[in-house]
Copies of this chain bind each other. A is one copy, B any other.
Amino acid sequence: MSSDTTSLRESVRAANVALAQQGLAPFTWGNASAADRDAGIFAIKPSGIPYEDLRTDDIVTVDIETGETLEGVRSASVDTPTHQRIYKDFPQVGGVAHTHSHYATVWAQACRAIPCLGTTHADTFAGPVPVTRFLTPTEVDTDYEGETGRVITTHFQAEGIDPIHVPGVLVAGHAPFTWGATVEEAVKHAGILEEVARMALHTFMLNPAAESLPAHFSDKHFSRKHGAGAYYGQR
């Protein structure tokens, strides 16, 4: 199978390097993965390897259904079960990124969802970026990383949020996860989430009573870029 997954693994290597280069994953705090839905697998960063040392061969492939490692001499990221759960429960997702980017992590630590305060947010996230509940002691003790994924996907399901319309989340007390149709999109969403989180913090410092953008405004901006009526960019 090795020859088949080279380009998948290479895209994951490049995406992890991009996370580091954009300052979204200081130290080794972050990882990105990409799925091959036809093959039923995803490829993910190995655990604790500095981004600048990553080679394509270091990338590990994993079975989406079972979570078992298929290829790779390295140990997969400890966060692999979280990625796996997102791929299982969000079938439209082709790439996932996890970072400890500064401002998004601050919102996760403050246990607050990021409201949509302007068009910068609305262009990418069609509504607030939600924050999960804390994991229970039992969840932490039994299958910590898998339960982290479950607390994400059940939140979206319970609240009726479309993960393609809101391609990211804050895990309470921890940090953000983002996703997209591809791993490149997941990384881009990680960068936009960081800027949106930073803007929202500073907006509240200037105006603690700042209100969400009126819906007619935010819907317009999201639909300029997404869906059948989109007219942003070249066609």
A46 to chain B, nearest CB (A): 7
- Per-residue B-contact encoding for A104-126, CB less than 8 Å = 1, 0 else: 01111111100001111001000
Question: Which of B29, B192, B216 interacts with A137 by CB under 8 Å?
Answer: B216
Interface size range on A against B: 35 or more
Q: Does A195 contact B102, Cβ atoms closer than 8 Å?
A: yes
A152 to chain B, nearest CB (A): 15
Interfacial chain B residues near A14, Cβ < 8 Å: none
A226 at interface, CB cutoff 8 A: no
Interfacial chain B residues near A175, Cβ < 8 Å: 118-120
A12 to chain B, nearest CB (A): 17
A95 at interface, CB cutoff 8 A: no
- Cα distance A17–B47 when bound, in Å? 28
- Cα distance A26–B175 when bound, in Å? 22
Give the interface segment out of A33-41, A177-185, A203-211: A203-211
Q: Does A109 contact B117, Cβ atoms closer than 8 Å?
A: yes
CB-based nearest B residue for A215: B137
CB-based nearest B residue for A174: B119
Say whether, besides A111-B207, A112-B206, A206-B204, A199 and B234 are in contact (CB < 8 Å).
no
Interfacial chain B residues near A206, Cβ < 8 Å: 106-107, 110, 112, 201, 204
- Cα distance A117–B188 when bound, in Å? 27
Chain A contacts with B in 198-235, Cβ cutoff 8 A: 198-207, 210, 213-214, 216-217, 220, 224, 231-235
A118 to chain B, nearest CB (A): 4
Q: Does B48 contact A102, Cβ atoms closer than 8 Å?
A: no
Say whether, besides A27-B192, A195-B26, A235-B75, A217 and B47 are in contact (CB < 8 Å).
no
Question: Which of B173, B207, B231 interacts with A119 by CB under 8 Å?
Answer: B173
- Cα distance A119–B29 when bound, in Å? 11
5 A-B Cβ contacts within 8 A? A27-B188, A78-B231, A78-B232, A106-B202, A117-B173
User: Which A-B residue pairs are the 8 nearest by beta carbons?
Assistant: A48-B233, A110-B207, A137-B216, A109-B118, A110-B206, A106-B202, A109-B203, A109-B117
